[in-house]
């Protein structure tokens, strides 16, 4: 049989990242093909290429043997390709029927006047087909819960009567019952000969509906096979990979330096710096239910990690700790002092810093100069009298440029014109100046080159050695294992476990992240 | 050509520029935070009217000026709360406030006009110290003050950082609400000061006296090269902008070009410079 | 059709925008204070005065639903009143003149939309610029003076009519009905909701965000053009200041009527009540004998209060 969709050597680069690297893939009619991989493995980019959202840089895509190059989703729709997107595409003020048939409403002739009655009854049919008789199709979807909105989203894709359909995490918000209904529907589609690409983190779903599975990692094709041929452990192994070469291992460095300092201690004999608890978080919840009852503690001189999938609540937790969002309940103690509900400004002065996940939008003022960015979080440290001084600022910036090896012509270069790695080092410089006791790193090495990564790791280790308490949030398990003394794993908003010492392994963390009990 | 650059002419141009510059100085701070203030002109009229009315009713000039400044501060803080706290789009909030201001100005004037004010106020507009007119001195002093605040203090830096990237400013621990409040407060105060000086200069007050300035106040900032996106520019540029606009107006007046064309020109200028500025940033 | 029971009535009552109640209270208030308030003639006069604002508000409501505000609508009103008289003075036949006006107003909207969406300049900067350009164009066309033309059509439209309502009211109501109908029943209406609520929906369904946005501004321009012609009929002249401030009253009417500047929400049908509230307040203040000098401030404060209320209400609603 001829595959309906064949993808060969697809490549796509975004600034700083290779999202797709010679990716190949195929899909037969009547098949559910599962696409698996960690966050950032390139699954979404691949589906966006198929849908015409993103134009690949290289490679070929064939539909029914004919090469395709979609300019926009309009073209893919015309070829009968539909998708259930991870991000909802609902218009909140339109009702379910209007959303399902958005821009494809049944109209009278060419008038553009919608045949409301027909549209509503059609929508009801589609939804009851999916077992969602209880969705009122005349109520604006913003009043429906997230689960019902997701069903409407699925109904929308199905209403297009597609022959190729991509499901991107369709069940993350669904109940058991709705999930079953969806699977039944997928089964129907299969029988009718449609091709289905199914992306999900829920491994127990793979056996349930999948025929074949393809694992991606770092934008690359890893392996393909029948679902039944892989065990859960094997899949996790393929997804996280055995990354034998660690860029940096703090533990090894530490071991080396410990022997050194032991010798040192023998001669000098000062007591090691007292290790005390700096940050204590008790049952912290946010207001939206994305962070649930998180408790953790952080001691001086250690690096604690937070592992978890995107959407597991790790970034939301960081935002709570830094006061960007207000906590719903629970307590945060810094040096024993209750700091729950403080503004970011206060927290910086009290000693909490955050290198945010989105360096361009949150970490830096891109249009500002290097020097301005360096002092932006530590204005009170650099200029205690509130009077700016150009020379001090220039001197400080030059010092950090040298310390952190930031490559820039001078201190007046705009952050905009710097490379990703240098930008990230600039964010680090800003928090070095602010000199906070606790520093939270949220995805500090995303999209930067190996050299810069190594440097940032070294600085983190150095900071910890100087007595700072560091919380590292990362998607890269090898990074967490290389850097952290302890790792908290988050899943669906809650901390699902804590690992330390010899327990730290990719497999173990992966199991806790994906929620697979072994 | 030799006569154009005489000291007298230069001083005349500076004097003509001074009120526009005073009004657009405060606005510059708001624009630097990435917001806008449409209420400066009407607020200036209101404050001028309050000042004139108080003096006519027998209060000392000083009290009149203080009342005007307090009104300006109150309006500025209200604007700041609407934009910073309630997160209203700044052009909607300040447009509404401008309607309130001009309405109140009509009430204060009781629909009339005041002519002839005592010398202690008019000195502020028509007096000179040596060869320098008082409005030029007032504007010069406030300019120096604002320049120093913006370029030399932590607060000034917070204004720029908020405008450059409010989200990043927040993630750096900068209190953007306070920054925005302070920016609108300054804008209100400068509006009030501009209104008082204008009243003094005209030796009269009426509710619509700043209408002629209208768009010019914003245009001066934009022409000076401060970005409507916030974070780039400064009062020194606004000075140039105000100067250029005054000179253009003068030239158009001398050439006999109708004032209607002038507004058209300012509209096109805002669209062009605002648009160029915006697309430049979006491309990069 | 089943009989509405009390629960339905209650739900309806909750869905009505607060402006309905405020309007009713205002009407009662002014009715008690003045004689002959509750006469058909008086009501007819209030509606007649409200007609141009209603047309402009229809256009503005559509823009507000996309989370924007068109600051140039007032200038388009002024421009049309002047342009129409000018064309008539030049001897252009009436239907052709009207057609030219509507075409020009659509063109004004097209310019707004094109600049804002194609050149990606923020809507308020775009329309702030064009506000002044259109206004200057109006001033230049008439030499900054009110221009006159006598034609029976003005009187007919503004004073004569049907069922105690002048033709101008009927025209405005037609524009209003059309807007509500389009928002509820047409593809265009769904597009507008998506522009305000979730642009992704347009892209994922194969539509064009830019085209949709341009269409919105053209529609707003057209409505402002109709408003301009209605103003012209009422004042029987072309006045370059006729539309001053109207863009903002229209934003206020839309917000008072329950449309929201956040995520394309609210009910465009409520705009009628927003307009009525503003006009009842305006006319009532005059009839009660409040000096005209207080009116602008009172209206300004009411409008601002409406916007603040919208912000606070929507915020608590969304949380």
The mean per-residue pLDDT over the stretch B55-71 comes to: 91
Please say if the pLDDT value at position A431 is more than 90. yes
Q: How far is B236 from chain A (nearest CA, A)?
A: 18
Number of domains chain C contains: 1
CA–CA distance from C93 to each of B128, C50, C226 (Å)?
61, 28, 18
The mean per-residue pLDDT over the stretch A339-366 comes to: 90
Q: How far is C74 from chain A (nearest CA, A)?
A: 28
Nearest CA in chain B to C130: B267
Please say if the pLDDT value at position B158 is more than 70. yes
Contact B178, A346 (CB under 8 A): no
CB contact under 8 A, A94 and C187: no
Instruction: Tell which of C60, C121, C126, C291 to mutate to test the B interface (max B CBs under 10 Å).
Output: C121
Please say if the pLDDT value at position A1 is more than 50. yes
pLDDT of the residue at A242: 56
| B172 within a domain of the structure (yes/no) | yes
Q: How far is A388 from chain B (nearest CA, A)?
A: 5
Closest in C136, C298, C301 to B261, CB measured: C136
Nearest CA in chain A to C208: A74
Closest in C71, C132, C307 to B96, CB measured: C307
| C72 within a domain of the structure (yes/no) | yes
Determine contact: A340 vs chain B, CB below 8 A. no
Using 50, 70 and 90 to split pLDDT, how confident is the model at C3?
A: low
From the centroid of its chain, how far is CA A132? Answer: 31
What is the token pair recorded at A295?
């408790």
Q: How far is A17 from chain B (nearest CA, A)?
A: 18
Q: How far is A333 from A326, CA to CA, in rounded Å? A: 15
Which chain C residues are closer than 8 Å to B88 by Cβ?
307-308, 311
B160/A124: higher pLDDT: B160
CB contact under 8 A, A324 and B170: yes
- Angle at Cα A423 formed by Cα A419 and Cα A429, nearest 5°? 145
The mean per-residue pLDDT over the stretch C226-231 comes to: 91
Q: How far is A42 from A19, CA to CA, in rounded Å? A: 5
Q: Chains touching chain C at 3 or more Cβ pairs under 8 angstroms?
A: A, B
Nearest CA in chain A to B229: A367
| B2 within a domain of the structure (yes/no) | no
Which chain B residues are closer than 8 Å to C137 by Cβ?
264
Number of domains chain B contains: 1
Closest in B36, B95, B264 to C137, CB measured: B264
Determine contact: A138 vs chain C, CB below 8 A. no
| C127 within a domain of the structure (yes/no) | yes
Contact C209, C195 (CB under 8 A): yes
* Residue A38, number of CB atoms within 10 A of its CB: 24
| C276 within a domain of the structure (yes/no) | no
Q: Given CA atoms C2, C8, C13, C14 in this order, what sign does their dihedral have?
A: negative
Residues 6+ apart with CB under 8 A from C241: C78
CB contact under 8 A, A376 and B174: yes
The mean per-residue pLDDT over the stretch C215-241 comes to: 90
What length is written for chain A? 518
Q: Where are the domains of chain A?
A: 1-80+163-241, 88-161, 277-351+436-518, 357-434
Closest in B155, B158, B164 to A367, CB measured: B164
What is the token pair recorded at A230?
């892989």
Please say if the pLDDT value at position C317 is more than 60. no
Run of H or E residues at A82 = strand A81-84
From the centroid of its chain, how far is CA A215? Answer: 18
Run of H or E residues at A355 = strand A352-355
Q: How far is C53 from C299, CA to CA, in rounded Å? A: 14
Contact B159, B235 (CB under 8 A): no
Q: Which of A256-265, A272-281, B104-113, C54-63 has the highest mean pLDDT?
A: C54-63
Contact A131, A178 (CB under 8 A): yes
pLDDT of the residue at B239: 93
Contact C282, B81 (CB under 8 A): no
Determine contact: C192 vs chain A, CB below 8 A. no
The mean per-residue pLDDT over the stretch A465-474 comes to: 91
Q: How far is A329 from chain C (nearest CA, A)?
A: 16
pLDDT of the residue at B4: 61
* DSSP state, residue A361: I
Q: Which domain holds residue C155?
A: 50-243
CB contact under 8 A, B171 and A324: yes
Please say if the pLDDT value at position C301 is more than 60. yes
Run of H or E residues at A225 = strand A220-226
Run of H or E residues at B92 = helix B90-109
What CATH number was assigned to the domain covering residues A277-351+436-518?
Answer: 3.40.50.300
A64-80 pLDDT, tens digit each:
888 888 888 888 888 88
| B243 within a domain of the structure (yes/no) | no
Q: Which residues 35-54 in chain A show a CB within 8 A of chain C? A: 53
Using 50, 70 and 90 to split pLDDT, how confident is the model at A261?
A: low
Which chain C residues are closer than 8 Å to A95 by Cβ?
none
- Relative to beta strand A195-199, strand A164-168 is parallel
Nearest CA in chain B to C121: B275
CB contact under 8 A, C133 and B110: no
Q: How far is B84 from B79, CA to CA, in rounded Å? A: 8
Start-end of H helices in A101-199: 116-129, 146-159, 176-191
| B192 within a domain of the structure (yes/no) | yes
| C304 within a domain of the structure (yes/no) | no
Mind spelling out the 3-state secondary structure of A423-463?
Answer: HHHHHHHHHHHHCCCEEEEECCCCCCCHHHHHHHHHHHHHH
Where on the phi/psi map is residue A293: left (φ > 0), alpha (ψ -120 to 50), or beta? left
Please say if the pLDDT value at position A91 is more than 90. no
CB contact under 8 A, C206 and A102: no
Q: Chains touching chain B at 3 or more Cβ pairs under 8 angstroms?
A: A, C
Contact A291, A285 (CB under 8 A): yes
Complex prediction ipTM: 0.85
The mean per-residue pLDDT over the stretch C27-45 comes to: 79
Please say if the pLDDT value at position A272 is more than 50. no
Q: How far is C278 from chain A (nearest CA, A)?
A: 26
| C73 within a domain of the structure (yes/no) | yes
Closest in C261, C293, C301 to B92, CB measured: C261
Q: Given CA atoms B64, B69, B74, B76 in this order, what sign does their dihedral have?
A: positive
What is the token pair recorded at C57?
């508000």
Choice among A358-367, B66-75, B120-129, C67-76 with the minimum mean pLDDT: B120-129
Contact B38, B89 (CB under 8 A): no
Residues 6+ apart with CB under 8 A from C100: C83, C87, C92
Q: Which domain holds residue B61?
A: 15-210
Which chain A residues are closer than 8 Å to B165 by Cβ?
361, 364-368
Using 50, 70 and 90 to split pLDDT, how confident is the model at B184?
A: very high
C294/B163: higher pLDDT: B163
Q: How far is A92 from chain C (nearest CA, A)?
A: 6
* DSSP state, residue A292: -
B231-284 pLDDT, tens digit each:
888 999 999 999 988 888 888 888 877 777 877 888 888 888 877 776 666 554
CB contact under 8 A, B215 and C128: yes
CB contact under 8 A, C193 and A91: yes
Closest in A344, A368, A387 to B171, CB measured: A344
Residues 6+ apart with CB under 8 A from C25: none
Q: How far is C278 from chain B (nearest CA, A)?
A: 14
| C11 within a domain of the structure (yes/no) | no
Q: How far is A35 from A212, CA to CA, in rounded Å? A: 9
- Relative to beta strand B132-133, strand B128-129 is antiparallel
Contact A240, A247 (CB under 8 A): no
pLDDT of the residue at A245: 46
pLDDT of the residue at A142: 81
Q: Which of A186-190, A490-494, B24-28, C202-206 has the highest mean pLDDT?
A: B24-28
| C213 within a domain of the structure (yes/no) | yes
* DSSP state, residue A114: B
The CATH label, of 3.20.20.80, 3.90.470.20, 3.40.50.300, 3.30.930.10, for the domain at A1-80+163-241 is 3.40.50.300
Determine contact: B215 vs chain A, CB below 8 A. no
| C88 within a domain of the structure (yes/no) | yes
What is the token pair recorded at B235?
């009062």
Long-range contacts of A511-516 (CB under 8 A, 24+ apart): A511/A236, A512/A307, A513/A307, A513/A308, A513/A309, A513/A312, A513/A489, A514/A201, A514/A202, A514/A203, A514/A236, A514/A309, A515/A491, A516/A203, A516/A204, A516/A232, A516/A236
Q: How far is C187 from chain A (nearest CA, A)?
A: 6
CB contact under 8 A, B96 and C261: no
Choice among A164-168, A261-265, C115-119 with the minimum mean pLDDT: A261-265
Please say if the pLDDT value at position B148 is more than 90. yes
Q: How far is C180 from A244, CA to CA, in rounded Å? A: 65
Q: Within 13 Å and on the Cβ side, how many CA atoms surround C261?
A: 25
Mind spelling out the 3-state secondary structure of C65-89?
Answer: HCCCCCCCHHHHHHHHHHHHHHHHH
pLDDT of the residue at C93: 86
Mean of all residue pLDDT scores within chain C:
82
pLDDT of the residue at B192: 95
CB contact under 8 A, B281 and A347: no
Choice among A424-433, A472-481, B76-85 with the minimum mean pLDDT: A472-481
Mean of all residue pLDDT scores within chain B:
87
pLDDT of the residue at C57: 92
Beta bridge pairs of residue A473:
A306, A442
Choice among A135-149, A187-201, C85-99 with the minimum mean pLDDT: A135-149
* DSSP state, residue A199: E
pTM: 0.81
Using 50, 70 and 90 to split pLDDT, how confident is the model at A274?
A: low
Which chain B residues are closer than 8 Å to A364 by Cβ?
165, 168
């Amino acid at each position: 049989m001829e595959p309906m969709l064949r993808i060969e050597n697809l490549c796509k680069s975004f600034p700083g990242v290779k999202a797709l690297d010679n990716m190949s893939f195929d899909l037969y009619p009547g098949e559910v093909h599962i696409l698996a991989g960690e966050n950032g493995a390139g699954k979404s980019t691949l589906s966006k290429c198929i849908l015409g959202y993103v134009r690949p840089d290289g490679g070929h895509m064939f539909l029914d043997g004919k090469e395709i190059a979609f300019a926009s989703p309009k073209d893919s729709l015309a070829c009968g390709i539909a998708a259930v997107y991870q991000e909802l595409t609902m218009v909140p003020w339109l009702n379910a029927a209007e959303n399902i048939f958005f821009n494809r409403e049944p109209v009278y002739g060419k008038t553009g006047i919608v045949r409301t009655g027909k549209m509503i009854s059609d929508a009801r049919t589609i939804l009851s087909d999916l077992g969602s008789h209880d969705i009122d199709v005349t109520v604006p979807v913003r009043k429906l819960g997230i689960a019902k909105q997701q069903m409407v989203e699925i109904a929308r894709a199905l209403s297009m009567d597609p022959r190729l359909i991509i499901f991107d995490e369709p069940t993350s918000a669904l109940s058991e019952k709705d999930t079953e209904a969806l699977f039944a529907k997928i089964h129907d589609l299969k029988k009718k000969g449609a091709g289905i690409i199914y992306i999900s983190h829920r491994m127990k779903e793979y056996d349930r509906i999948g025929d074949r599975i393809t694992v991606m990692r770092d934008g690359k094709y890893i392996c393909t096979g029948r679902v039944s041929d892989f065990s859960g452990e094997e899949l996790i192994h393929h997804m996280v990979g055995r990354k034998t070469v660690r860029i940096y291992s703090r533990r090894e460095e530490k071991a080396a330096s410990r022997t050194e300092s032991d010798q040192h201690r023998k001669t000098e004999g000062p007591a090691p710096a007292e290790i005390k608890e700096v940050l204590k978080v008790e049952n912290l919840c946010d207001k939206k239910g994305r962070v649930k009852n998180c408790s953790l503690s952080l001691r001086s001189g250690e690096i604690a990690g937070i592992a978890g999938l995107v959407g597991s609540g790790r970034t939301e937790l960081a935002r709570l700790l830094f006061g960007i969002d207000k906590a719903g309940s629970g307590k945060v103690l810094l040096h024993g002092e209750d700091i729950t509900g403080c503004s970011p400004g206060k927290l910086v002065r009290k000693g909490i810093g955050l290198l945010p996940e989105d360096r361009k939008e949150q970490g830096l003022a891109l249009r500002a100069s290097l020097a301005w960015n360096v002092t932006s979080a530590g204005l009170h440290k650099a200029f205690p009298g509130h009077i700016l001084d150009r020379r001090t600022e220039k001197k400080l910036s030059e010092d950090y440029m040298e310390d952190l090896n930031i490559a820039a012509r001078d201190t007046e270069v705009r952050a905009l014109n710097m490379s990703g790695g240098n930008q990230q080092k600039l964010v680090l410089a800003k928090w070095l100046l602010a000199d906070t006791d606790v520093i939270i790193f949220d995805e500090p090495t995303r999209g930067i080159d190996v050299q810069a990564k190594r440097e940032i790791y070294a600085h983190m280790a150095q900071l910890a050695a100087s007595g700072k308490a560091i919380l590292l949030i990362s998607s890269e398990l090898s990074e967490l294992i290389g850097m952290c003394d302890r790792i908290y794993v988050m899943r669906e908003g809650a901390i699902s476990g804590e690992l330390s010492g010899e327990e730290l392994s990719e497999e173990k963390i992966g199991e806790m992240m994906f929620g697979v009990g072994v | 050509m030799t006569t154009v650059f005489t000291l007298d002419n230069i001083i005349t141009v500076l004097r003509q520029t001074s009120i526009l510059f005073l009004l657009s100085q405060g606005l510059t701070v708001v624009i630097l935070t990435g917001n806008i203030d449409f209420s400066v002109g009407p607020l200036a009229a209101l404050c001028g009217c309050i000042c004139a009315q108080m003096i006519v009713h027998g209060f000392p000039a000083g009290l009149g000026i203080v009342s005007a400044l307090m009104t300006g501060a109150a309006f500025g803080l209200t604007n700041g709360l609407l934009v910073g706290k309630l997160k209203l789009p700044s052009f909607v909030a300040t447009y509404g406030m401008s309607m309130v201001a001009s309405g109140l100005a009509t009430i204060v004037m009781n629909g009339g006009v005041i002519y002839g004010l005592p010398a202690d106020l008019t000195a502020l507009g028509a007096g000179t110290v040596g060869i320098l007119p008082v409005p030029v001195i007032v504007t010069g002093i406030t300019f120096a003050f604002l320049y120093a605040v913006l370029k030399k203090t932590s607060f000034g830096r917070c204004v720029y950082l908020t405008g450059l990237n409010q989200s990043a400013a927040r993630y750096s621990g900068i209190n953007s609400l306070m920054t925005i409040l302070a920016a609108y407060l300054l804008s209100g105060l400068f509006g009030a000061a501009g209104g008082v000086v204008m009243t003094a200069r005209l030796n009269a007050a009426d509710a619509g006296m700043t209408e002629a300035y209208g768009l010019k106040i914003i245009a001066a900032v934009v022409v000076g090269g401060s970005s409507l996106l916030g974070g780039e520019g400064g009062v020194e540029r606004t000075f140039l902008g105000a100067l250029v606009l005054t000179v253009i107006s003068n030239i158009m007046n001398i050439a006999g070009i109708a004032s209607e064309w002038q507004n058209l020109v300012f509209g096109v200028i805002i669209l062009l410079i605002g648009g160029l500025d915006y697309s430049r940033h979006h491309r990069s | 059709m089943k009989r509405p029971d009390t629960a339905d009535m209650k739900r309806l009552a909750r869905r009505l925008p607060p402006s309905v109640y405020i309007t009713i209270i205002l009407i009662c208030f002014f009715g008690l204070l003045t004689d002959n308030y509750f006469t058909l003639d008086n009501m007819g006069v209030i509606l007649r005065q409200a007609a141009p604002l209603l047309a402009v508000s229809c256009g503005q409501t559509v823009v507000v639903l996309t989370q924007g505000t068109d600051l140039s609508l007032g200038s388009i009103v002024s421009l049309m009143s002047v342009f129409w008289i000018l064309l008539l003075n030049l001897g252009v036949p009436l239907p052709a003149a009207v057609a030219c006006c509507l075409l020009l107003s659509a063109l004004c909207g097209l310019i707004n939309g094109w600049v804002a969406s194609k050149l990606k300049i923020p809507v308020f900067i775009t329309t702030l610029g064009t506000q002044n350009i259109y206004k200057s164009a109006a001033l230049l066309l008439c030499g900054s003076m009110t221009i006159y033309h006598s034609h029976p059509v003005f009187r007919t439209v503004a004073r004569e009519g049907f069922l105690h309502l002048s033709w101008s009211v009927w025209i405005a109501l037609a524009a209003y009905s059309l807007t509500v109908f389009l928002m509820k029943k047409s593809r265009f209406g769904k597009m507008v909701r998506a522009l305000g609520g979730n642009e992704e929906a347009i892209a994922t369904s194969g539509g064009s965000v830019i085209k949709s946005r341009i269409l919105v501004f053209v529609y707003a321009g057209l409505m402002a053009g109709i408003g301009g012609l209605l103003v012209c009929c009422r004042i029987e002249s072309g006045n370059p200041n006729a539309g001053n401030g109207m863009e903002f009253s229209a934003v206020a009417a839309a917000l008072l009527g329950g449309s929201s500047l956040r995520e394309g929400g609210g009910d465009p049908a409520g705009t009628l009540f927003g307009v009525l509230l503003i006009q009842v307040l305006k006319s009532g203040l005059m009839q009660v004998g409040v000096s005209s000098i207080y009116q602008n401030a009172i209206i300004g404060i009411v409008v601002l209060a409406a916007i603040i209320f919208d912000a606070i209400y929507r915020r608590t609603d969304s949380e």
